[in-house]
Amino acid sequence: MNTHTTAHHPAIAAALLACALTITMPDANAQVAHRAAGKFHILPATTENTQWGLYDSTTTPALTIQSGDTVVMETMNHAHDYWIPGRSLQDVLGKRMDNNPQRGPHSITGPVFVEGAEPGDVLKVTINRIVPRAYGYNITLPGVGGQFPKEFAEGRLRYFYIDLDKRQIEFLPGIQIPLKPFPGLIGVARKEPGPYSTRPPGEFGGNMDVRDLTAGTVLHFPVWTRGALLWSGDAHAAQGNGEINISAIETAFRELNLTFEVVKGRSLLYPRAEKQDSWITFGFDPDLDRAHTKALEETAKILIETHKVSADRGRTLTDMVADCRVSQVVNGTKGIHCLTPKRPGLKTDLARPRTDTVTDYVTYAEEDTLTKAMDRAALMMIDRIANEKKIDRTNSYALMSVALDCRVGDWTGSTRKVHCLLPKNLWTGTKK
């Protein structure tokens, strides 16, 4: 096992845990196995503590902790911190070509081995605090990857300053993106042994690219292997729903502060997350419609558990209250996530406008598949903003990747609908 600086600071740990969002699992019989005010660990991002592009359950743990402990980890940029200001697009593309094609681009810190976690348990991970580096970047690969590789054959790599005091990023002069950091990739070891690419998400979590997993979020992962083995990476400073040009504002984290708890007597087959007032459920599949179906199935499970209703009633409630978003369409395995209120009668944001509102530019598409609807709605917004705001089309593509909010419309009819919203207040001087 690697050696790390691990300090026990009871006062700090107690304060961190007191600040953490604590929400119990819906099963009253579930027991959280943890020690009060657990230890506080530091996990730096070194070449010994990180892997490039592959999960492997046989990897020696970077850190071993107890349930109830808090870990502050660092993360790297892609390719073991190769993607930093000063590197050109040609440099980055060359590095990608040097990499094993089976690997993803991500640098992942870990794994963290949690004592007492066994297959069939649940690993509860609370995101207490996130501090990014002061810079980030966005890349459009030339004719490869992204939602529209044929439309954007040029390719572009741009770096950005992240203003941590103002909590914003200047995308272009007069365009400010709010800083909303989250781990694009966080998950546990897969149940299958051996090395696997970090690119696709799955029942283990991983490269989910769900922008709602910000500080204060509690994640629940099914445990597939002894110790759970959690990794994180692919740090994002801001991302749009869809991540359409294949990247967010990518960065690295100076601090990703996580509290770990092993939940006994409760099993899951798919990850889920929660905010203060809502559950977040996920669906992953190469087909966006099937990903949506999976997310709705997971939403129905939550409603059946928490509202103590029948399976039929759970599905009916899902159609009424689930607010589903397009997480990403660029990882091969695509993602949908749905936000669902925890308490009966509590509404999520079900706004699905078809035309502009006071706060948002809107494009809308209706097709026979979600993929077609997503493609048309997103491309309409790219071209609209490029034309109306006099922005280079490739920059408009990148802007949508870091700021667009694409929502699944009413799915009870025969067609599939997507509503894409872009906040008007990205342009400085626009009334919020």
DSSP single-letter state for residue 305: H
**C-alpha span between 335 and 291 (Å, rounded):** 6
Q: Could you tell me which residues are beta bridge partners of residue 172?
A: 175
CATH number of the 277-341 domain: 3.10.28.20
**CA 201 – CA 186 distance, rounded (Å):** 9
The answer to whether residues 260 and 65 touch, using CB atoms and an 8 Å cutoff, is: yes
- pTM for this prediction: 0.90
Mean pLDDT of 262-282: 95
Where in the chain are the domains? 6-271, 277-341, 360-426
Decide if 6-271 and 360-426 have a common fold: no
User: Which of 100-109, 131-140, 254-263, 371-380 has the weakest average pLDDT?
Assistant: 100-109
For 316-343, the pLDDT digits (tens) are 989 889 999 999 999 999 999 999 998 7
Return the structure tokens found at 330.
Answer: 């660029």
Residue 178 pLDDT exceeds 90: yes
Of 426 and 11, the structure prediction assigns the larger pLDDT to 426
Residues 160, 249 contacting (CB under 8 angstroms): yes
Label residue 64 exposed, middle or buried (CB < 10 Å: 0-12, 13-18, 19+).
middle
CATH H superfamily, domain 360-426: Acetamidase/Formamidase-like domains (3.10.28.20)
Res. 263 pLDDT band, cuts 50 70 90: very high
Q: Report the SS3 class of residue 287.
A: coil
Place of tokens 């070194």: 46
6-271 classified as CATH 2.60.120.580: yes
Cis peptide before 101 (omega within 30 of 0): no
